[in-house]
Amino acid sequence: MSGESEKAVFEVPVGPQHPALKEPILLLFKIEGDIIDDVMARPAYTHRGIEKATEARNYIQNIYLCERVCGICSGIHTLVYTQGVERLAGVEPPPRAKYIRVIFLELERIHSHALWLGVAAHELGFDTLFYYVWRDRELVMDLLELVTGNRVNYAMSTVGGARRDISDEAAHQIKKGMEIFRRRLDVYTGVVEKDPTVRKRVVDVGKLSPHKAVELCAVGPTLRATGVKRDVRADDPYQAYDEIPFNVATYPTGDVLAQIMVRVMEMYEAANIIDYALDHMPKGPIRTKVPWNIAPNEVISRGEAPRGELFYYFKSNGTEKPERVKIRTPTLANLPAVCEMLKGYHIAEIPIVFASIDPCLSCTGRFAFIDERHDRSWVWTGEQLRAYRRRYYKWQNR
Amino acid sequence: MAMESELVGASLRRPVTLRYPFERRPVPPRFRGRLSWDAEKCVGCGMCVQVCPAFALELVGKGPMAELRYYLNKCVFCSQCVESCPRDALTMTEEYELADYKHKIYEFRRK
């Protein structure tokens, strides 16, 4: 080495089998010393072809297929799917069904955020908190099991309403459970706010400015943690959210602590929403009939998943099967933001900063080309896709 | 340093682990286990086959005397078939210990 200090930039690949959550993603870091200079994320190691598979199944079968897009947010996926099909068919679900949907969605939000809080604690090396949070998450899981019969794939929402009713007894148990959960949450809020080991790892780490967050189209808690008040439940109310008063939780600092605090506040909000919804649930039927074949139509449907805005696009063609279903999951929208958040921090902070967007990577798989004969694989960019579209339509209209 | 009270509480608590094969947790009221079929009620309309998202059901034969083949290894336990059955011939049992080394296929037969 010469006397002058030379900047040595290393490329460090993290993943596909490594970072934060146990799902495959490649993060290619350019490292200068110990500081991250640049990041390139490559998702799509788990392409499952769900969008294509929806075209081969009828609207009823697709409920259960879309439910399995994501394991943790299975409730919101069914809801946004069924909401979209209802819009396609021009059917309005009964009011009681809307409240039932809201209740199990908020229960799901609590369990998802509690799961994330545990995972975040684990990434910080604070495994005690991880075990305790997950123990209390079981409270919510048991309530979900009580109402829906299952811990994960609830199969609760169907095209035209809800599949199961919430009895008075179950409502009483949910309320009791929420009370206990709120008390437990007070403890964890105190731990996160006061514990010096937590604070040292999360304060001023992974900062994102509100301007940059909006520019990179961040969604959900990642965006709200920068102080931007944006939530599909409040901005474009679906189901019964326009009748339920709630606050959109925001936190101004934009670091990992803000991500934790936003999610903790959202858990409190969700508990309040559940209590309100149980008190104000109207009586009546829980489902309406929906035609088997749906006339040609085109709609979008969106909802606020625990991780952010979930977006579905539908096109029907008059048969029992959809012509096209397009799914945009929140993690895909948050990937550019997390790449920005990682820049300028140390290698040791990769796990917690990356985990702070609550990545659910199996939902982000898109497509890749694989040529088996020549042993090549490649991915198309947006520009190449547009060029292909031009070629394709030229060929069709020749 | 904010979890001492938790530690005290946990030290006084009894373990919650069940000794599984001897003790079992009761299943929740709306549990969805293995499918069962009532030959008396079934009219062989094939609605269950049409709505099954996992293609786990198959009609054997045609008409009102058709029988049902149930692929347990494909079933996702959504209970859509139970919901769609116009004669309530299908029910979900509370059986859940279904793991096996080979693909389990149930041939539901009319006697």
pLDDT for the residue numbered A82? 92
Question: Per mean pLDDT, which range of A40-44, A113-117, A232-236 is the poorest?
Answer: A40-44
Mutate one of A127, A150, A320 to test the B interface: name it (highest B CB count within 10 A): A150
The chain-wide mean pLDDT, for chain B, equals 88
Q: With 50 as the cut, is the pLDDT of residue B103 above it?
A: yes
Q: Is A65 on the interface with B (CB under 8 A)?
A: yes
For A375-398, the pLDDT digits (tens) are 777 767 767 878 887 887 888 777
Which residues, in sequence order, are bridge partners of residue A327? A312
Chain A hits for B32, Cβ within 8 Å = 149-150, 155
pLDDT for the residue numbered A27? 86
Q: Which of B3, B30, B54 sits opposite A191 (nearest CB)?
A: B3
Mean pLDDT value across residues A192-217: 88
> Is residue A93 classed as helix, strand or coil in its secondary structure?
coil
Please report the domains of chain B, with CATH numbers, ordered by start residue.
31-108 (3.30.70.3270)
Q: Do A256 and A353 meet the contact criterion of CB atoms below 8 Å apart?
A: yes
pLDDT for the residue numbered A274? 92
Instruction: Name, in order, each residue with C-beta under 8 angstroms of A181's C-beta and a sequence gap of 6 or more.
Output: A110, A136, A139, A140, A267, A271
Give the span between the Cα atoms of B8 and A178, in whole angstroms. Answer: 24
The domain made up of A51-364 has a fold known as Cytochrome-c3 Hydrogenase; chain B (1.10.645)
Question: Per mean pLDDT, which range of A143-157, A171-185, A349-363, B42-56 is the poorest?
Answer: A349-363
pLDDT for the residue numbered A365? 61
pLDDT for the residue numbered A1? 46
Q: Which of B1, B31, B78 sits opposite A195 (nearest CB)?
A: B1
User: pLDDT band for position A369 (50/70/90)?
Assistant: low
Give the span between the Cα atoms of A106 and A112, in whole angstroms. Answer: 10
Q: With 90 as the cut, is the pLDDT of residue A153 above it?
A: no
Check the CA dihedral A335-A368-A311-A112 and report its sign: negative
pLDDT for the residue numbered B90? 92
pLDDT for the residue numbered A394? 84
pLDDT for the residue numbered A239? 86
Structural tokens at position A49: 């072809």
pLDDT for the residue numbered A176? 93
Q: Do A41 and A20 meet the contact criterion of CB atoms below 8 Å apart?
A: no
> Is residue B54 classed as helix, strand or coil in its secondary structure?
coil
Mean pLDDT value across residues B11-39: 88
Taking residue A2's Cβ as centre, other Cβ atoms within 10 Å add up to: 5
Q: Is B8 on the interface with A (CB under 8 A)?
A: no
Q: Which of B1, B52, B79 sits opposite A196 (nearest CB)?
A: B1
**Given the structure tokens 């009823």, which residue do they identify?**
A60
Which residues, in sequence order, are bridge partners of residue B69? B58, B107
Q: With 80 as the cut, is the pLDDT of residue A123 above it?
A: yes
Question: Per mean pLDDT, which range of A273-287, A316-330, A373-387 is the poorest?
Answer: A373-387
Q: Do A277 and A219 meet the contact criterion of CB atoms below 8 Å apart?
A: no
- Please report the ipTM that was assigned to this predicted complex: 0.89
DSSP line for A182-202 = HHHHHHHHHHHHH-HHHHHHH
The chain-wide mean pLDDT, for chain A, equals 86
Residue spans per domain, chain A: 51-364, 371-398
C-alpha A7, offset from chain centre: 39
- For the whole prediction, is pTM greater than 0.95? no
Q: With 60 as the cut, is the pLDDT of residue A3 above it?
A: no
pLDDT for the residue numbered A180? 92
Q: With 90 as the cut, is the pLDDT of residue B16 above it?
A: no
For A40-79, the pLDDT digits (tens) are 887 777 777 888 888 889 999 999 998 888 888 888 999 9
E strands in chain A = 9-14, 26-32, 35-42, 157-158, 161-162, 297-305, 308-316, 322-328, 369-371, 376-378
Q: With 50 as the cut, is the pLDDT of residue B84 above it?
A: yes
User: pLDDT band for position A177 (50/70/90)?
Assistant: very high
Taking CA–CA distances from B4, the nearest residue in chain A reads: A191
For Cα atoms A218, A118, B8, give the angle at the middle one, nearest 5 degrees.
150
Chain A hits for B31, Cβ within 8 Å = 149-150
